[in-house]
RNA sequence: UGUCCUGUGGUGUAAUUGGCAACACGUCUGACUCUGGAUCAGAAGAGUCCAGGUUCGAGCCCUGGCAGGACAACCA
């Protein structure tokens, strides 16, 4: 949480340059003191964490100034959009914790109005139907440093454009035969002002309007006007639309009959290390089976992050921490990881689980005995209470917690060494049992009955506390360990290397047989736990009655791992 | 040889009307601890892209450079 808290009740803590602009607009009494924003996704893919930044900003800004925020689907291209995406987007926004109430819109709600506006522009001689092929129009557009040239149809009579536009709408032409263009300035230094396309012909069924239309407005012709129709006061968007702003303003100037104008303000998108936010590339990963769907826990999609165990609070905190600016940068994944740990540390039920089991026989412990040991559910939150963990003669410990020939600074179990089994007993390793290959198959230990609960009455100290699970009283589970999807910080930063070449082959590691204490029996998908000393884990939807599946969200901070790597 | 935007520790941000650069993550110490977690204490690390100028004083103002990004889809 940031320090610069505000005086106003309920206001978000940190201000940014956009909030300053909004504040000034309010001071100047613009738009009758209204603040109205919108989040305008295209339903052509799943939302990712970059969108979360926009969502938090859009809804957050409205909330901060007592305004409203709409959800509007920019569904102007039926060939790429789908109801599946409309549904997932709504689910993800709600999950993040935001609510558009009754203000759900679609660009397609405004198709009639946009058509009427287009006709008006034709009538005023500000738009015309061009019938040149796409490549010719493209060539005539020039380059950023060279002006374009005018289409031979640019000055055709208004009536002719009107007639052709009506015929386009009536379906008399095939895809690509004609387009409607705004008549602005082919020599403009801004490419977007060189008679941009307003409408194109697409004979395709639209997920909402069905077959009513076969001409669809371009995003640039629809977006700004939709903001206008919805009464949006502040249109927040990412940097790449900065150069479109003059065009949006041009259209609105032709449309507006008062002082009201949506004000577009651009900010930089969120980038994270070791992943990428390109919808196109994410779609490619999904379609080529390089990940297991949009909600693969390695994906930066909100559905993937959710399945991985990242909480809404952690994502909102990340967005809060990185701030809103116009500078492009890349946020270290470690910031997100820190944010989840911070959240989960306070809320996650603790439990013991062994992912890489090594059997330990406690030779002086009675055969067949089951003792229930009392364990704390969350040391950060006493109200979460306590539970009992079954202890038996044979248990599993983590293979990494034993070394036959330990280096300095390795505090865990070793031959002859005594350690604590968490919430149970002190045990001392007496024997190392190996198979014919020299692999350690089990350990023999003795326990000190006086140390029950985890402390010795003689005040004897041990250097390490190990987690453990009874070899007989446990729940078997599959655990999926995840690592970064890519092994370079910027997988799409390489000009001459495809981003897929940077995929981390070890990003998913499946441990089919792990042992978890019985407490987790009956846990449902999305239930979260801390496996003590290992990390945070979440129940996956692949779990069945017979077999639980856990995903590792993140490891705990691990100083030993850091040290031993050196 | 255009237009627009951006340039502050490793990373992301902050710095009221110009006043000796702050916070978070990360890194490194140490304390404490029945999680090598958490917590607590502390450290290192930038003189603000460069060069001039205005000023008692500039990250903030002016001038000129340099660097990076965006824009040439009938995508959004």
Q: Is the pLDDT of residue A1 over 90?
A: no
**Nucleotide nearest to A560 in CA–C1' terms:** B36
Alpha-carbon span A401 to A417, nearest angstrom: 12
Mean pLDDT in residue range A134-141: 97
Q: Does residue A453 approach strand B to less than 7 Å at its CB?
A: yes
Report DSSP state, residue A366. P
List of A residues 408-437 with CB within 7 A of strand B: 409-412, 420, 422-423
Check if the beta carbon of residue A270 is closer than 8 Å to that of residue A277: yes
Closest CA to A462 of A401, A516, A517: A401
User: How confident is the model over A398-451, as pLDDT tens digits?
Assistant: 999 999 999 989 999 999 999 999 999 999 999 999 999 999 999 999 999 999
DSSP per residue, A420-458: EETTS-EEEEEEEEE-TTS-EEEEEEEEEGGGTTT--TT
From the Cβ of A219, is strand B under 7 Å away?
yes
Cβ(A189)–Cβ(A145) below 8 Å = no
Q: How far is the CA of A344 from the C1' of B13 (A)?
A: 24
Does residue A518 lie within 7 Å of nucleic acid chain B, judged by its CB? no
Q: Would you call A269 a catalytic residue per the annotation? A: yes
> Tokens 């779609």 belong to which residue?
A283
Tokens read off for A502: 């940077």
- Rounded to whole angstroms, how far apart are CA atoms A29 and A8? 19
**Is pLDDT at A7 greater than 70 in this prediction?**
no
- Other C-beta atoms within 10 Å of A325: how many? 12
Q: How many CB atoms lie under 10 A from the CB of residue A136?
A: 13
Whether nucleic acid strand B comes within 7 Å of the CB of A494, the answer is no
* A281 tagged catalytic: no
Q: Are A275 and A50 in contact (CB under 8 A)?
A: no
CA dist., res. A324 & res. A236, Å (int): 11
Block residue for tokens 């651009």: A266
Asked if residues A145 and A160 have their Cβ atoms less than 8 Å apart, the reply is no
User: What residue has token string 């201000």?
Assistant: A15
Rg (CA), chain A: 31
Least confident interval from A8-22, A143-157, A247-261? A8-22
The arithmetic mean of pLDDT across residues A73-83, rounded, is 96
Q: Is the CB of A123 under 7 A from strand B?
A: no
pLDDT band at A10 (very low <50, low <70, confident <90, very high): very low
Q: Give the bridge partners for A390, in sequence order.
A: A372
Give me the CA A1–C1' B60 separation in Å, rounded.
Answer: 27
What token pair was written down for A214? 């076969």
A311-330 residues near strand B (Cβ < 7 Å):
321-330
Catalytic (active site) residue A245: no
- Give the CA-to-C1' distance from A418 to B36 in angstroms: 16
Exposure class string for A383-414: b at 16+ Cβ within 10 A, else e: eeeebebbbbbebbbbeebbeeeeeeebebbb
CA–C1' distance A407–B31 (Å)? 24
Q: How far is the CA of A438 from the C1' of B30 (A)?
A: 41
Average pLDDT, chain A: 95
CA of A268 to C1' of B27 (A): 27
Yes or no: say if A534 and A467 are a contact pair by the CB < 8 Å rule: yes
- A472: Cβ contacts below 8 Å, ≥ 6 apart: A370, A392, A394
Beta bridge partners, A555, equal: A535
Please pick, among A42, A91, A371, A442, the residue that the annotation labels catalytic.
A42
Taking the C1' atom of every nucleotide in all shown strands and the CA of A188, the nearest one is B3
The separation, in Å, between residue A422 CA and nucleotide B23 C1' comes to 38
Helix (H) or strand (E) holding A376, with range, is: strand A371-376
**Residue-wise pLDDT tens digits, A349-376:** 999 999 999 999 999 999 999 999 999 9
Q: Would you state the pLDDT for residue A166?
A: 98
CB A61 within 8 A of CB A37: yes
Q: Is the CB of A379 under 7 A from strand B?
A: yes
- Whether CB of A176 is under 7 Å from strand B: the answer is yes
pLDDT at A12 over 70: no
Proximity of residue A374 CB to strand B below 7 A? no
Contact A404, A433 (CB under 8 A): no
Q: What pLDDT does residue A565 have?
A: 79
Tokens of A164: 């052709």
Residue A15, pLDDT score: 80
Which letter does DSSP use for residue A361 in this model? E
Instruction: With a cut of 90, say whether residue A3 has pLDDT above it.
Output: no
Closest nucleotide to A532's CA, by C1' atom?
A: B35
Model pLDDT, residue A4: 33
Is the CB of A269 less than 7 A from some atom of nucleic acid strand B? no
Q: Is A51 within 7 A of strand B by CB distance?
A: no
Note the pLDDT tens digit of each residue in A452-509.
999 999 999 999 999 999 999 999 999 999 999 999 999 998 878 899 999 999 999 9
Could you tell me what percent of chain A has a pLDDT over 90?
94
Residue A505: name the closest of A304, A298, A332 by CA: A298
Please state, in angstroms and as integers, the Cα–Cα distance from residue A517 to each residue in A55, A128, A234, A453, A476, following that order: 39, 72, 52, 17, 9
Q: Are A363 and A334 in contact (CB under 8 A)?
A: no
Positions in chain B where some atom is under 7 Å from a protein CB = 1-8, 10-14, 23-28, 34-39, 69-76
Q: Is the CB of A203 under 7 A from strand B?
A: no
| Among A562, A512, A513, A550, CA closest to A351 | A550
Please compute the mean of the pLDDT values over residues A279-307 and round it to a whole number. 97
- Residue A43 tokens read as 């339903």
Helices and strands of chain A, counted as H and E runs = 13, 25
pLDDT of residue A14: 63
Cβ-in-10-Å burial (0-12, 13-18, 19+) of A437 comes to exposed
Q: Which of A362, A368, A356 is nearest to A431 (CA)?
A: A362
- A459 Rama sector, left if φ>0, alpha if ψ -120 to 50, beta otherwise: left
The reply to whether A450 Cβ lies less than 7 angstroms from strand B is: no
Q: Which residue is nearest to nucleotide B22 (CA to C1')?
A: A3
- Average pLDDT over every residue of A82-86: 96
Question: What is the spatial distance, in angstroms and rounded to an integer, between the CA atom of A294 and the C1' atom of B15?
Answer: 42
Q: Residue A168 corresponds to which tokens in the numbers above?
A: 């386009």
Q: Which of A279, A298, A306, A552 is catalytic?
A: A279
Which phi and psi (to 5°) does residue A293 adopt? Answer: 95, 170
Q: Residue A459 CB closer than 7 angstroms to strand B?
A: no
């Amino acid at each position: 949480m940031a320090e610069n808290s505000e005086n106003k009740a309920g206001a978000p803590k940190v201000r940014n340059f956009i909030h300053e602009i909004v504040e000034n607009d309010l001071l100047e009494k613009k738009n009758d003191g209204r603040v109205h924003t919108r989040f305008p996704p295209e339903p052509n893919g799943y939302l990712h964490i970059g969108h979360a930044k926009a969502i938090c900003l859009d809804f957050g800004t409205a909330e901060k100034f007592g305004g409203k925020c709409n959800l509007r689907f920019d569904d102007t291209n039926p060939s790429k959009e789908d109801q599946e995406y409309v549904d997932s987007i709504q689910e993800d926004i709600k999950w993040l914790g935001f609510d558009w109430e009754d203000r759900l819109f679609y660009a397609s709600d405004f198709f009639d109005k946009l058509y009427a506006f287009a006709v008006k522009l034709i009538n005023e001689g500000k738009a015309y139907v061009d019938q040149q092929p796409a490549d010719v129009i493209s060539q005539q557009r020039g380059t950023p440093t060279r002006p374009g040239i005018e289409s031979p149809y640019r000055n055709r009579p208004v009536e002719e454009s009107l007639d052709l536009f009506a015929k386009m709408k009536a379906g008399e032409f095939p895809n690509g035969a004609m387009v409607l263009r705004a008549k602005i300035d082919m020599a403009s230094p801004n490419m977007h002002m060189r008679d941009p396309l307003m409408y194109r012909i697409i004979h395709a069924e639209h997920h909402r309007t069905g077959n009513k239309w076969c001409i669809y407005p371009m995003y640039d012709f629809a977006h700004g006007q939709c903001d206008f129709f919805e009464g949006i006061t502040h249109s927040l968007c990412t940097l790449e639309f900065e150069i479109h702003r003059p065009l949006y303003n041009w259209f609105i100037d032709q449309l507006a009959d008062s002082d009201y104008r949506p004000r577009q303000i651009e900010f930089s998108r969120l980038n994270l290390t070791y992943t990428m936010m390109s919808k196109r590339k994410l779609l490619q990963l999904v379609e080529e089976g390089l990940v297991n769907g949009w909600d693969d826990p390695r994906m930066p999609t909100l559905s993937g992050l959710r399945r991985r165990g990242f909480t809404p609070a952690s994502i909102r905190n990340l967005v809060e921490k990185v701030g809103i600016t116009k500078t492009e940068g890349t946020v270290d994944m470690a910031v997100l990881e820190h944010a989840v740990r911070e959240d989960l540390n306070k809320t996650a039920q603790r439990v013991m689980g062994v992912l890489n089991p090594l059997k330990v026989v406690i030779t002086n412990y009675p055969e067949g005995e089951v003792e229930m040991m009392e364990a704390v559910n969350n040391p950060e939150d006493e109200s979460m209470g306590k539970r009992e963990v079954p202890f038996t003669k044979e248990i599993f410990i983590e293979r990494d917690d034993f070394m036959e020939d330990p280096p300095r600074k390795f505090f865990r179990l070793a031959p002859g060494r005594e350690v604590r089994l968490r919430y149970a007993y002190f045990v001392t390793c007496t024997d190392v049992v190996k198979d014919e290959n020299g692999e350690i198959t089990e350990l023999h230990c003795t326990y000190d009955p006086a140390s029950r609960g985890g402390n010795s009455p003689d005040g004897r100290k041990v250097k390490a506390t190990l987690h453990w699970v009874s070899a007989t009283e446990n729940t078997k589970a599959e655990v999926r360990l995840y690592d970064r999807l890519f092994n370079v910080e910027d997988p799409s930063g390489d000009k001459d290397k495809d981003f897929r070449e940077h995929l981390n082959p070890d990003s998913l590691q499946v441990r089919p047989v792990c042992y978890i204490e019985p407490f987790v029996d009956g846990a449902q998908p999305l239930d979260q736990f801390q496996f003590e000393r290992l990390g945070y884990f979440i129940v996956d939807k692949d779990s069945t009655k017979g077999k639980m599946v856990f995903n590792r969200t993140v490891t705990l901070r691990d100083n030993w791992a850091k040290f031993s790597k050196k």
